[in-house]
């Protein structure tokens, strides 16, 4: 066996080792992507749960939410601040869902599920007024997206979880 043959065998072994390494790295990358998506999803689920907790733990806030949707003109200044804070927190969390989706860390089906429970909250005179004023403080592509949902009739019905 000549030195050329040994060199060829060495190149072949190196090529096989490189191929095995690339396959292993692709597998690891896929596993990492799955883990990242699962973590992002769990984080969003946890954050979205925080939208409901105040309503579950505070009957006065439930009454206030009902009042803002049925008779917004009788809200006191303090009540408006509370409702505005609830809407702001809720739509900030939905903004996070939108960003996670655009970054590729959330699947479309998951994004749509979260939206289904939040976007309909914009139905009603108080919520529409709030959005008209608050939207300038959100991420511009997200605002455009929500505006498209509004124009497409996505807020015309209530989510079953928030029906009055």
Question: 45-81 pLDDT, tens per residue?
Answer: 777 777 778 777 888 888 888 888 888 888 999 999 9
Q: Rounded mean pLDDT of the chain?
A: 84
pLDDT greater than 70 at residue 156? no
pLDDT score for 102: 92
pLDDT greater than 60 at residue 27? yes
Structure tokens at 84: 């505005």
Q: What is the pLDDT of residues 117-154, one digit of tens each?
A: 888 888 878 888 999 999 999 999 999 999 998 888 76
pTM, whole model, 2 decimals?
Answer: 0.72
C-alpha to C-alpha distance for 164 and 155, rounded to whole angstroms: 14
Confidence of residue 155 (pLDDT cuts 50, 70, 90): low
Long-range contacts of 70-77 (CB under 8 A, 24+ apart): 70/164, 72/124, 72/125, 72/126, 72/129, 75/126
């Amino acid at each position: 066996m000549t030195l050329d043959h040994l060199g060829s065998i060495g190149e072949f072994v190196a090529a096989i080792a490189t191929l095995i390494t690339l396959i292993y790295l692709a597998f690891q990358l896929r596993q990492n992507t799955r883990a990242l998506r699962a973590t992002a999803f769990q984080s969003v689920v946890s954050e979205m749960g925080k939208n409901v907790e105040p309503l579950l733990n505070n009957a006065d806030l439930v009454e206030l939410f009902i009042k803002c949707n049925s008779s917004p003109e009788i809200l006191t200044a303090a009540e408006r601040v509370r409702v505005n804070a609830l809407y702001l927190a809720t739509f900030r969390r939905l903004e996070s869902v939108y960003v996670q989706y655009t970054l590729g860390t959330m699947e479309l089906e998951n994004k749509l599920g979260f939206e289904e429970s939040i976007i309909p909250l914009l139905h009603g005179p108080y919520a529409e007024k709030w959005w008209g004023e608050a939207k300038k403080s959100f991420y511009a592509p997200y605002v455009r997206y929500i505006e498209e949902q509004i124009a497409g009739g996505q807020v015309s019905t209530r989510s079953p979880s928030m029906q009055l």
